Structure 1
Amino acid sequence: MTALDALPPSDGRPELVVLRAIKLGDLLVAVPALRALRRAFPDHRISLATTAWLAPVVALVPAVDVHLAQQGFDHPIGVPAGVTDVAVNLHGAGPESEDLVAALGARRTIHHGEGGPSWEDGPVNERERWVRLLRAYDIPADADDVAIDRPAEPPVVDGAAVVHVGAFHGARHWPVDRFAEVVRGLRERGHDVVLTGGAADVARAAAVADAAGLPPEAVLAGVLDLQPFAAVVAAARVVVTVDTGAAHLASAYGIPSVVLFGPAPPEAWGPPASGPHVVLTDASVRRGDVFSEEPDPAILAVHPVDVLAAVDGLGVVPAGSGAGASPDAAGARAAASVDQ
């Protein structure tokens, strides 16, 4: 799927336009709402206005028919006024997003505020926030309905332990030496380990590999586009990551994960409690500055022994051993692990 600047010619279906223009994790927490909209409006063409570089992952969201490139709020959504049947604001409740949605001139608008539910402040689970919005308009939705399609191309690595070392801001960075200790522990348990991250994380991943004794070919940071990255996560035995899009991909594919939280509250951004996921953080020391370049004390309170114990608790075993993680045991632990 290609991100388009403007709505393509009508295919005869009524138009439903959704605004959600942020990053990978933000897109993935909106998947339950998008899937609910697909069920509620099966005869509509659904267009998602979101960030252009997310196109490879938008293509994996079966609820979306058209991807409209929306780079922030400095330009209107690429849909002529008056052609939209239903407009949905899954972005926020501020004047910037509300004005963009209002400019569509839709016959029906689903949003917070006037005519809809009030915006909830505080640490509200983001998946739940958007399904609650739909429920207020009598649209059934399930916050745990997080699945997206797997990429058609096979993964470059199958059955690995994926350790994602990157994050957009330093507040979510976990020390290189701690990542290296986790990698060594995973390898001692028999796992093949690969390191992932974005283009800005190449040096960081190389440092982790060097400290852990991993070969250069195990460093996939800066190598994979979004779909190949999603394919590696979908085929992983376990994912160890800070609070990033990698964690949300693991949730979308039901892959056991250990997620380290720093400035952001896991109550808002954490994985589904029903899945094979463990969250590690210490809320009592959280500073909460998500844009800081210094690691948040909440993530520094997590140590390699905690991560490896969480992997063991999930029941994850190496590929080729003939067994997998125990979902029942994992799910039971996940909800209780938020403040470890």
Structure 2
Amino acid sequence: MKVEAQRIVVRAPNWVGDVVMATPTFRALRENYPDAHLAVVLRPYVRPVLAGSPWFDEVIATEDRGLGRFWALTRRLRAGRFDLGVILPNSFRTALEAWLGGVGHRIGYDRRRRGLLLSAPIAPPRDRKGRFVPRNMVDYYLTLCQHLGCQGLSQREELFITSECQARGDALLARHQVGPDARLLGMNPGGAFGSSKLWPADRFAVVADALAARGFRIILFGSPAERPILEKIAGAMAHKPVLPEPGELDLDVLKPLVRRCSLLVTNDTGARHYAVAFDVPVVCIMGSTSPLYTNVNLEKQIIVQVKVDCGPCQKKVCTTDHRCMTRITPDQVLAAADRLLSGRFGRLPL
């Protein structure tokens, strides 16, 4: 039986990739509660990820730091008189905010000792010894919808591009003399999670040059904090790439640029999930993180990862020799790219 609600608030995840992997849940809530007022609470920096989406009647942007913001959000939730809260992050704070905010029915995972704050605490997946078992985040979030009684669930990740955003993307490419017939190929060598996710920049340059020699225009994606990595790659390349100027690239305009690409080569970051949402083939170079968290919608993805005795460690910074990344060669990544560009989808035998 479906839980009935007229005013729903959903707390979005905090990382870009997780927000994209939550889009099937957002869509399911909208489709199963078509007449309800649906609000989303999110961190301001991920708001552009959901720009243009048709699901939400209200967007509440807040940071997860500081008592002032905490009490401001609880007051906002009380004023909203929400009768259902879907809490996707696992933190104690997000459950406490919903509880103090007077949200009627609060559903989320019973983790980090917050079960008493939830009306419907859902047991996370665990093995026989009680240890948490990683699950891909699309299904992890959709499970909450299943417990609400939602129907017609789909794993398809989805993003939207406004006409203004598309115009910005077109203008950026025009400024860099990328014509409409150019074969664009994206490289995303950064990663906000931490340096443990980063494949060496000089190897990205080797792969980028090899693909540029085959007629592709290479475009480098990254945040302002990752600018030194992008400049290092651009400086090492024999073929000049498209390197957006500071301030040209953000999480909104990144969407039409990724959609324009024939292929994306990336670390395990948010841009990877943009590509999945736009059905763009993607080579994902994975090191310290477990593929179990993202093992979904793999039809046009190849994960390049080597087995090491210390991984996957889930650490933000490697405490040894970063062997999970340094043992991945440019030839392995190029082989994956060749396979995808030739339409041979599926896992690459390494």
* TM-score interval, smaller chain: 0.7 to 0.9
Corresponding residue for 2:124?
Answer: 119
Separation in 1, partners of 2:80, 2:260: 44
Offset at 1:60? 3.3
CA contact (8 A) 1:48 1:68 kept: yes
SS of 1:227's equivalent?
A: coil
Matched, 1:83 2:88: no
Per-residue displacement from partner, 1:298-328 (whole Å, max 9, x unpaired)?
A: 2222211111111111135xxxxxxxxx3xx
Offset at 1:270? 4.3
Question: Structure 1: which amino acid aligns with 2:94?
Answer: S
CA contact (8 A) 2:305 2:324 kept: yes
Corresponding residue for 1:99?
Answer: 96
Corresponding residue for 1:9?
Answer: none
Corresponding residue for 1:311?
Answer: 337
Offset at 1:109? 2.4
CA contact (8 A) 1:151 1:227 kept: no
Offset at 1:150? 2.3
Q: Which moved further from structure 2: 135-144 or 81-90?
A: 135-144
Offset at 1:102? 1.6
Corresponding residue for 2:142?
Answer: 131
Which of residues 251, 255, 280 is equivalent to 1:226? 251
CA contact (8 A) 2:82 2:102 kept: yes
Offset at 1:21? 4.4
Q: 1:88 to 1:288 in 2, by over 3 A?
A: same
Offset at 1:36? 0.6
Identity %: 22
Which of residues 31, 36, 42 is equivalent to 1:50? 42
Q: 1:109 to 1:141 in 2, by over 3 A?
A: farther
CA contact (8 A) 1:261 1:280 kept: yes
Corresponding residue for 1:298?
Answer: 324
Which of residues 266, 280, 284 is equivalent to 1:259? 284
Q: 1:87 to 1:287 in 2, by over 3 A?
A: closer
Q: Which runs of 5+ in 1 are unaligned?
A: 1-12, 317-325
Offset at 1:186? 0.7
Which of residues 272, 284, 293 is equivalent to 1:268? 293
CA contact (8 A) 1:110 1:134 kept: no
The correspondence of residues 58-77 of structure 1 with structure 2, limited to 5 A, is 58-72=50-64, 74=66, 75-76=70-71, 77=73
SS of 1:80's equivalent?
A: helix
Q: Which runs of 5+ in 2 are unaligned?
A: 126-131, 174-179
TM-score (norm 2): 0.81
The correspondence of residues 1-340 of structure 1 with structure 2, limited to 5 A, is 14-72=6-64, 74=66, 75-76=70-71, 77=73, 78-80=76-78, 83-92=81-90, 94-113=91-110, 115-120=120-125, 121-140=132-151, 142=153, 144-152=155-163, 153-154=166-167, 155=169, 156-157=172-173, 159-168=183-192, 169-215=194-240, 218-220=242-244, 222=246, 223-273=248-298, 275-285=299-309, 286-292=311-317, 296-316=322-342, 326=343, 329-330=344-345, 333=346, 336-337=347-348, 340=350
Offset at 1:227? 1.4
Query: What is the aligned residue count?
Result: 309
Separation in 1, partners of 2:108, 2:134: 19
CA contact (8 A) 1:57 1:227 kept: yes
**Structure 1 outlier segments of 4+, above 4 Å:** none
Separation in 2, partners of 1:15, 1:91: 20
Offset at 1:68? 0.8
Q: Which moved further from structure 2: 81-90 or 191-200?
A: 81-90
Offset at 1:265? 0.8
Q: 1:283 to 1:123 in 2, by over 3 A?
A: farther
The alignment yields a C-alpha RMSD, in angstroms, of 2.3
SS of 2:341's equivalent?
A: coil
Separation in 2, partners of 1:163, 1:15: 41
TM-score (norm 1): 0.83
Question: Structure 2: which amino acid aligns with 1:187?
Answer: A
Per-residue displacement from partner, 1:216-274 (whole Å, max 9, x unpaired)?
A: x611274302211111001111100001110010011111100111111111124512x
Per-residue displacement from partner, 1:88-108 (whole Å, max 9, x unpaired)?
A: 11111x432221122232232
